[in-house]
C-alpha cells in the first residue's frame, strides 16, 4: 500500500471515529416554564373601619408589590422573572382589589424558564403601601417592624421539559390588615391554592 493510500484510509478512519465518538457529556435537557399567579380571595370583600363595615367596590384599590421570586430544590434555586423575555428581576405592583367579570382579577406575576426537576419551595417578597376605599381617607399600610420581606411557601412540584407548571397564590387582602393605634399592619395572609401542569 502506498503512503498516499494509507494517508487517505487513515483520514477516513479518523473522520468516522470523530462522527461516532461518544464524548460522555449528556445532552442538556430543555427547560420547563414556571408561572406564578396571584388572585385575591373572592370571599374577602369587607373591612371594618372604626365602627363602619366597608364593602369593596370597583373603584377601590390596594397595591401589593411582588419581588425577588425564586424556587428551591434543596439549597439550589432558580430565579423567577416576570416574563419569558425578561432577564432581570423587577418589582411589580398589582391592584389586588381590581375586578374582572365580577370577581377579583388573576395576575400572572412570574413566567420564567427554569431547569426541569423537583422543587420544594417558592419564595417571594410581598409588601403593600396604600389602601384606597370610597368615602374613606387613603390608609397607609406597612409590615410589622420584625416581619421579613420574603415569604416562603413550602410546596412540592415538578418542572418538566417543555411544559408549564403553574403555581396559584391566593391572598386575603382585607383580612391581612390589622389596626394598631393609628397604624395598619399588612399581615400577608397568603397561601398556595394549587399547582397544575400542562
Task: Using the structure block, give the residue that is written with the C-alpha cell 395576575.
Answer: 107
Main-chain phi, psi angles of 171, to 5 degrees: -125, 145
In whole angstroms, give the CA distance from residue 76 to residue 135.
49
pLDDT of 169 reads 98
pLDDT of 26 reads 61
Query: Which segments within the chain are labelled E, that is strand?
Result: 32-40, 46-49, 52-55, 61-73, 76-79, 92-95, 99-100, 103-104, 106-114, 117-132, 139-142, 150-159, 164-171, 177-180, 183-186, 190-197
pLDDT of 24 reads 54
The more confidently predicted of residues 145 and 10 is 145
Report whether 127 contacts 65 (CB < 8 A).
yes
Instruction: Look up the pTM and report it.
Output: 0.85
> Would the pLDDT of 192 be above 60?
yes
pLDDT of 11 reads 52
Q: What average pLDDT does range 3-16 have in this prediction?
A: 52
Q: What average pLDDT does range 104-124 have in this prediction?
A: 97
Amino acid at each position: 500500500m502506498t503512503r498516499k493510500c494509507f494517508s487517505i484510509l487513515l483520514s477516513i478512519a479518523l473522520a468516522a471515529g470523530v462522527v461516532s465518538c461518544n464524548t460522555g457529556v449528556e445532552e442538556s435537557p430543555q427547560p420547563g416554564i414556571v408561572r406564578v399567579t396571584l388572585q385575591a380571595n373572592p370571599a374577602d370583600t369587607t373591612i371594618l373601619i372604626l365602627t363602619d363595615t366597608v364593602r369593596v367596590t370597583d373603584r377601590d384599590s390596594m397595591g401589593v408589590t411582588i419581588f425577588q421570586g425564586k424556587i428551591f430544590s434543596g439549597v439550589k434555586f432558580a430565579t423567577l422573572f416576570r416574563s419569558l423575555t425578561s432577564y432581570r428581576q423587577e418589582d411589580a405592583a398589582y391592584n389586588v382589589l381590581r375586578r374582572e367579570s365580577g370577581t377579583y382579577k388573576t395576575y400572572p406575576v412570574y413566567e420564567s424558564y427554569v431547569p426541569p426537576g423537583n422543587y420544594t419551595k417558592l419564595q417571594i417578597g410581598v409588601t403593600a403601601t396604600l389602601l384606597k376605599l370610597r368615602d374613606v381617607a387613603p390608609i397607609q399600610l406597612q409590615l410589622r417592624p420584625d416581619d421579613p420581606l420574603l415569604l416562603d411557601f413550602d410546596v412540592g412540584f415538578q418542572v418538566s421539559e417543555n411544559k408549564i407548571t403553574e403555581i396559584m397564590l391566593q391572598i386575603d387582602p382585607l383580612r391581612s390588615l390589622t389596626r394598631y393605634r393609628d397604624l395598619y399592619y399588612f399581615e400577608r395572609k397568603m397561601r398556595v391554592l394549587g399547582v397544575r401542569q400542562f
